[in-house]
Chain A
Amino acid sequence: MNKDASTTGEQFRITQDQLQKLLDVLRDQGYETVGPTVREGVITYDQIDGVEDLPIGWTDEQEPGKYRLKKRSDKALFGYVVGPHSWKKFVYPPRQLLWRMHRDNGTQKLEEPSEDYPRYAFFGVRSCEIQALAVQDKVFMGSDYRDRYYALRRKDNLIIAVNCVEPGGTCFCASMDTGPKARKAFDLALTEIVEKDQHYFLIESGSDIGTDILSELKSDPATDKQIARADELLEKAARNMGRQLDTTDIKDLLYRNAENRHWEQVAKRCLSCSNCTMVCPTCFCSTVEDTTDLTGTSAERVRRWDSCFTLEFSYIHGGAVRPSEHTRYRHWITHKLASWQDQFGTSGCVGCGRCITWCPVGIDITEEIKSLQDSESLTSDEAKAKE
């Protein structure tokens, strides 16, 4: 392709060979390429060297509390949605050494950790996940305080997006307005089209870097018919989400219902296991661990992911602020869908469905909101009759 002819937003058609070429180009440019790959029965994100590392011909079946990999009838490269991991682990790792301190003859010295972080190319990022990264950007870089560790890891990320043509069983990005098509904040975006007789990808650039990389690939301008086909698939995907969430008035709904007895019903099922917070691509809570070596001359401080479902999370002298399971669940869902908006000007939920799939008892965030909405539309007598 002629570089000058390439502008952002324009669609091109490439083959699978050119995807391999894309990975080669990225690695030649010094990027560490990470993307979806099958590990221990799930699709996770890890280093990928070639197209063959992708979960070719796999799909995932997802329902509340259920995740299964299944063989597809075709050789699609991106024929699944999101697994338990998210890109969060690369920019905000589960454990981050904050610093070390050394003690010698009564004096203490601080040692900062190495800041030699990889330059990542995230390959196969779903639209909801692009939004999740944007949400965490606001958390860690959007206020007066900015987190250096996050900012440095996030700095040079290259985003190769994949538009979702087949939503999963717990997906609801269409409700959250975060997908299934990547609209912004990517360098390159792919749409995979698998037909009986042909298998190809539409690719568009979303940044100058993306345009430069695209110019290295052999591509043809996409035909109107191909573009129409991709649009058709994406529109169909938006209509076929596994879940739906009515976000009308959702912030006030949750604030209004802080003391709704419904939370006690949820708590009967919730195990406070914190899975939902661990798989969530936007959950950002952390705690710190302080340790010393055996001789007591070196100490280190590590930040690690934490969950608001633990009792210790809100501990102050005298006890936890939220000792009850139901108030911890209420806190999580209210934070995600309501107070996040007050804090960061955006919803904390991107509709990826991970918390539904990975909840061991299948608690469904969309169903819980629906229950609250229903409880308000019933009169109290009707509600009683229902019980």
Chain B
Amino acid sequence: MQDLGPYLKEHPFLSGMTDSHIDLLVGCASNVKFDIGDFVSREGQPAKQFYFVRHGKLAVELQTHDRGPMMIQTIGEGDVLGWSWLFPPYVWHFDVKTVELTRAIAMDGECLRNKCEEDHELGYEIMKRFSHVMVNRLSATRLQLLDIYGKRK
């Protein structure tokens, strides 16, 4: 099997992580590739995995009955995709579809959750990094909500 350690180590999300923690992560990791148009997740489906994107581009989408699928955000190289695996009931909230051919490292959610429970230091590291990503996405979403380029009445 390919050693994913070096790939994990160089992913921005994991920068500064200790070797021993990386080793723990490797045990939950697998290499994946998605073709253009593949669904990586579907709203309502079990969120078994999350992804460290190595390159490519994916769109987080929300299906609307009147306007079709709305692209909320695109995710690309160096980003992390998915946090539904972290909280019960471990179900995806959005559709994610690839816009470009995408390579990523898939992480088994349950596997990592168990390791985090066993090793709280690892858990804290993972949690810190995820909350940082979440805060950034939240503030980006707030900015998006303002529709700052739109015409005012």
B152 at the interface (CB under 8 A from A): yes
What's the Cα separation between A318 and B148 when bound, in Å? 10
**Interface size band for B:** under 10
What's the Cα separation between A383 and B152 when bound, in Å? 41
What total of chain A residues lie within 8 Å of the partner, measured CB to CB? 3
Q: Among residues 119 to 143 in chain B, which have CB atoms less than 8 Å away from a CB atom of chain A? A: none
Which residue of chain A has the shortest Cβ distance to B152 in the bound complex?
Answer: A318
State the total of A-B contacts with C-beta under 8 angstroms: 3
What's the Cα separation between A245 and B152 when bound, in Å? 43
Which residue of chain B has the shortest Cβ distance to A318 in the bound complex?
Answer: B152
What's the Cα separation between A319 and B150 when bound, in Å? 13
What's the Cα separation between A319 and B152 when bound, in Å? 8
Question: In the complex, which residues of chain B have a beta carbon less than 8 angstroms from the beta carbon of A319?
Answer: 152
What's the Cα separation between A84 and B14 when bound, in Å? 71
A39 at the interface (CB under 8 A from B): no
Which residue of chain A has the shortest Cβ distance to B148 in the bound complex?
Answer: A318
Q: Among residues 123 to 163 in chain A, which have CB atoms less than 8 Å away from a CB atom of chain B? A: none
What's the Cα separation between A36 and B99 when bound, in Å? 79
What's the Cα separation between A290 and B152 when bound, in Å? 24
What's the Cα separation between A230 and B90 when bound, in Å? 92
Question: In the complex, which residues of chain A have a beta carbon less than 8 angstroms from the beta carbon of B152?
Answer: 317-319
What's the Cα separation between A185 and B152 when bound, in Å? 50
What's the Cα separation between A201 and B136 when bound, in Å? 76
What's the Cα separation between A329 and B152 when bound, in Å? 26
Q: Among residues 313 to 353 in chain A, which have CB atoms less than 8 Å away from a CB atom of chain B? A: 317-319
Question: In the complex, which residues of chain B have a beta carbon less than 8 angstroms from the beta carbon of A318?
Answer: 152
Tell me how far the C-beta of B59 lies from the nearest C-beta in chain A, rounded to whole angstroms: 29
Chain A residues within CB distance 8 Å of chain B: 317-319
3 contacts between A and B (CB under 8 A): A317-B152, A318-B152, A319-B152
Closest 3 CB pairs of A and B: A318-B152, A317-B152, A319-B152
